[in-house]
Amino acid sequence: MPSETDAAHGHAISAEIKSRAVKLLTTREHSRQELARKLCARGYPTDDVDAVLDALERDELLSEERLVETYVNERLDKGFGPLRIQAELRDKGLSDTQIGPHVAIDDDDCLQRIASIHAKRFGDSGPRDHKDLAKRARFLEYRGFPSHLIARYLDMDD
C-alpha cells in the first residue's frame, strides 16, 4: 500500500510534468505524441506523462484540432503546399483523418498558391530552357504541391 510520502511524491511529479508541458504549450501548439516524447526524454515515467496529458486534453490546453488548424494556416501563409504540410503533420503523430479536412485545397486555389510562390522565387520571367523548367518544377514539388498541378502551371502537360 502506498504511503503518504509516495502519494505526495507522485503528486509533485505530476505537478512538475504539468508545469513543463504547459510551458512547452505556451511556446507553440504540440501534438500529444510530441509532448509525450519530450517529457519522457526528460525521464518522467510514461504512465505519469499519459495521465497529465489526459488532464491537459480534458482542460483543452492540449488540442490536436487546434494544432492542425494553426499549423496548416501558418504553413500555407509561408508558401508550402498541402502535400508537405500533410507529411509534416504525420511526423508529429497526427492521423490523415485529423489532417485531411484542413489540407483539402481545391485545384484553383492550389494553382494560385503555386503562381504566387513561383513568382516570389523566380520572378515573372518564364523558364529559359528545359533545365530551368526542371529546376522550377523540383522547387514547387519540394514545397509540397501536387505534381499534376505543377505540370499544369508550368505548362508541362505535353
The pLDDT score that the predictor gives to residue 5 is 58
Say if residue 36's pLDDT is above 70. yes
Is residue 12 very low, low, confident or very high in pLDDT (cuts 50, 70, 90)? confident
- Mean pLDDT for all residues in the chain: 91
Range with the poorest average pLDDT among 18-22, 98-102, 122-126: 122-126
Residue count of the chain, please give it.
158
% of the chain surpassing 90 pLDDT:
85
The pLDDT score that the predictor gives to residue 9 is 53
Say if residue 6's pLDDT is above 70. no
Say if residue 1's pLDDT is above 50. no
Mean pLDDT of the 2-26 span = 78
Is residue 104 very low, low, confident or very high in pLDDT (cuts 50, 70, 90)? very high
Q: Among 78, 73, 61, 72, which residue's Cα sits nearest to residue 99?
A: 72
The pLDDT score that the predictor gives to residue 87 is 97
